[in-house]
A and B are shown apart, each in its own frame.
Chain A
Amino acid sequence: MSKVWNLETPISEEQIRELKLGDTVYISGKLWGIRDRNLGREIDDGVALPEGVDYEGYPVLHEASGYKQEGGEWFFTSGMGTTTSTRMERWMPILIERHRCRAVIGKGGLLEGTTEACKKYGCVYLSVVGGAAAYYDARAKIINVFWPDLDSQAILECEIKDYGPMFVGIDAHGNNHYLNLRKKAIDKRQKIYEMLQIKELPWAPQWVERPREKNY
């Protein structure tokens, strides 16, 4: 039976290890908004995080929001939204190891490397509904912006209240709901082909194998 958790930040490793796949989570407290270019600047380019940024014990969210400053205060202009996590898989194990953030929040799921890091260092992946910025907007407030030169790719410090519902997609014990689901889906691929009477035919001859995304 899945549980509903209401957590306050900072979150302890013990607490995180209690969460199970499919549990519902709401978090209140502090959250960090991260994404491609600020991850790249820190991890690929080796630039130290700005002073005041510390992910240890806090959730980080793959965010994708517009913001503005008015009268010294920051505001989201189009809600607090999440972007696709899968795209950032290569950075996440390093981030979890280096900073010991306790939850990664996003959409689309993460893969084997992150699952391993979550198990080793005590972290979970929480899935939110992408595209529902207008819904989450009422639950998040932006406090500060770091590396503002990155514009919508800056690091955001946010205050959240009952942010959720989020669902545990990767727990801290090596279980990944997305990978389980993917395996189930692949297992029935032949059945899906049969529904459409698809036959295996020899692939059309090629001069040289066509370029594929994964090769780059």
Chain B
Amino acid sequence: MTFPYETFQKIMGDLYFRNVTVFPPDLKDALKNAFDRETNEIAKEKLSVMLEAIKMGEGNGIPVCQDMGMQTYFVHIGTKMQVDGYKIKEAVIEGVRDCSNGRKWRKTLSNPITRLKDGEQISATHPHIYWDWIKDQDYMDVMCISKGSGSENQSFHAMLVPAQGMNGVKKFIIDSAYAAGGQPCTPSVTTIGIGGTFDQNAKLTKIAMLRPIGKPNPDPQIAALERELYEAINAINIGPMGFGGDTTTLAVHVETADVHETQNPVSVSFQCWAARRSGMRIFQDGKFEYIWEFGGEGYE
């Protein structure tokens, strides 16, 4: 069966639109729980503005945050699907362009040397797409993460050495939380990559955003590390928007990759409370379902 590329491009526009206007239920729950637990009056009021902003964004069909940020896509294609990979890539990118231009949204994309913009939210290098395959499946998952600059600017990386061990890794993470303070629009989701090569290590912080907020890593040892880091970062009391309070991070997500015996890389990146994340599962005939929203189970 021929894949309906034109329909696919249209629903890719919808996926991007939902990404910035509709927030995943687990994120809303995490913010509500933080609001219920918070003991600092001003922090509580800040959290209530965040929840109200989500309601108004969803209700009025406008972006919750004005910073569309940069888009990162993960496209995982089932090996039983018959599609032209290049056309899939074009449709994902054009979907962003159609939605952004149609609604005259703010463009964030600039040339890194001249700092000039050409008025498009897409280019030969944006959005960035990571590709993978799913064995023996007849569907394709497309996931989009939009991250604003306030939070992406608070990203930290170090090539530690094995002699520094987990002690050094933990210290680097805490020092990063101190350096970031309230700038990444806290409460953040702290995404951490440990291991892998230099580039793979940074990518792990994006992979860490693919799971529901607060869902622990399936490896019990890593889950225990996430829990202790969660307690420690919140004990700093940076609070919502860096104004003090009990909630500095909503969750700590750690992803790992096996590493060269002589290396010990670590990356820390803080995702703002407006942690935009949307995903769709698309079948060969063009039928689709949202992975997270509308009761979706999320991507494993």
**Chain A residues packing against B (C-beta within 8 Å):** 22, 24, 64-68, 76-81, 83-84, 86-87, 107-109, 127, 129-138, 151-152, 165, 167, 169, 177-178, 181-182, 184-186, 188-189, 191-193, 195-199, 201, 204
Q: Is the CB of A83 within 8 A of B67?
A: yes
Encode B158-173 as 1/0 by CB contact (under 8 A) with A.
0011011001101100
Residues of chain B within 8 A (CB-CB) of A76 are: 66
Q: Is the CB of A204 within 8 A of B164?
A: yes
Interface hits, B236-292 → A, CB 8 Å: 236-244, 272-274
> Nearest-CB distance from B118 to chain A (Å)?
11
| A127 CA / B49 CA spacing, docked (Å) | 12
> Nearest-CB distance from A109 to chain B (Å)?
6
Asked whether any CB of chain A lies closer than 8 Å to the CB of B42, the reply is yes
Looking across the interface, which residue of chain B has its beta carbon closest to that of A108? B183
Residues of chain B within 8 A (CB-CB) of A66 are: 66, 68, 104-107
Looking across the interface, which residue of chain B has its beta carbon closest to that of A184? B237
User: Could you list some 10 contacts between A and B, CB below 8 A?
Assistant: A66-B106, A78-B65, A78-B105, A107-B242, A129-B49, A131-B148, A133-B62, A134-B64, A151-B119, A198-B171
Looking across the interface, which residue of chain A has its beta carbon closest to that of B65? A131
Residues of chain A within 8 A (CB-CB) of B134 are: none
Beyond A66-B106, A107-B241, A135-B52, whether A86 also contacts B183 by CB under 8 A is yes
Q: Is the CB of B52 within 8 A of A193?
A: no
Q: Is the CB of A79 within 8 A of B63?
A: yes
Residues of chain B within 8 A (CB-CB) of A108 are: 150, 181-183, 241-242
Q: Is the CB of A181 within 8 A of B103?
A: no
Looking across the interface, which residue of chain B has its beta carbon closest to that of A199? B167
Q: Is the CB of A181 within 8 A of B63?
A: no
Q: Is the CB of A129 within 8 A of B178?
A: no
Identify which of B103, B117, B163, B171 gathers the most chain A CB atoms within 10 Å of its CB. B171
Interface residue from B66, B170, B174, B273 paired with A78 (Cβ < 8 Å): B66
Binds A, one of B5-13, B75-83, B227-235: B227-235
Residues of chain B within 8 A (CB-CB) of A129 are: 46, 49-50, 53, 240-241
Beyond contacts A83-B149, A167-B243: 16 other A-B pairs, Cβ-Cβ < 8 A, are A65-B106, A77-B105, A78-B105, A79-B64, A107-B182, A108-B182, A129-B49, A131-B185, A133-B64, A134-B53, A137-B56, A137-B62, A167-B45, A182-B181, A195-B231, A197-B167
Interface hits, B131-154 → A, CB 8 Å: 148-150, 153
Residues of chain B within 8 A (CB-CB) of A182 are: 181
Q: Is the CB of A78 within 8 A of B274?
A: no
Beyond A108-B182, A130-B241, whether A77 also contacts B65 by CB under 8 A is no
Residues of chain A within 8 A (CB-CB) of B46 are: 129, 167
Asked whether any CB of chain A lies closer than 8 Å to the CB of B96, the reply is no
Beyond A107-B150, A185-B178, A204-B164, whether A169 also contacts B243 by CB under 8 A is yes
Asked whether any CB of chain A lies closer than 8 Å to the CB of B60, the reply is yes
The number of chain B residues touching the other chain, given as a range, is 35 or more
Q: Is the CB of B153 within 8 A of A188?
A: no
Q: Is the CB of A64 within 8 A of B67?
A: yes
Asked whether any CB of chain A lies closer than 8 Å to the CB of B194, the reply is no
Asked whether any CB of chain A lies closer than 8 Å to the CB of B298, the reply is no
Asked whether any CB of chain A lies closer than 8 Å to the CB of B214, the reply is no
Q: Is the CB of A84 within 8 A of B183?
A: yes
Residues of chain A within 8 A (CB-CB) of B239 are: 181
Residues of chain A within 8 A (CB-CB) of B228 are: 195-196
Looking across the interface, which residue of chain A has its beta carbon closest to that of B49? A129
Asked whether any CB of chain A lies closer than 8 Å to the CB of B54, the reply is yes
> Nearest-CB distance from A147 to chain B (Å)?
15
Q: Is the CB of B53 within 8 A of A132?
A: yes
Asked whether any CB of chain A lies closer than 8 Å to the CB of B57, the reply is yes
| A144 CA / B235 CA spacing, docked (Å) | 45
Beyond A65-B106, A185-B238, A195-B231, whether A135 also contacts B56 by CB under 8 A is yes
Q: Is the CB of A65 within 8 A of B66?
A: yes
| A199 CA / B148 CA spacing, docked (Å) | 34
| A152 CA / B117 CA spacing, docked (Å) | 10
| A201 CA / B45 CA spacing, docked (Å) | 41
| A132 CA / B66 CA spacing, docked (Å) | 8
> Nearest-CB distance from B111 to chain A (Å)?
13
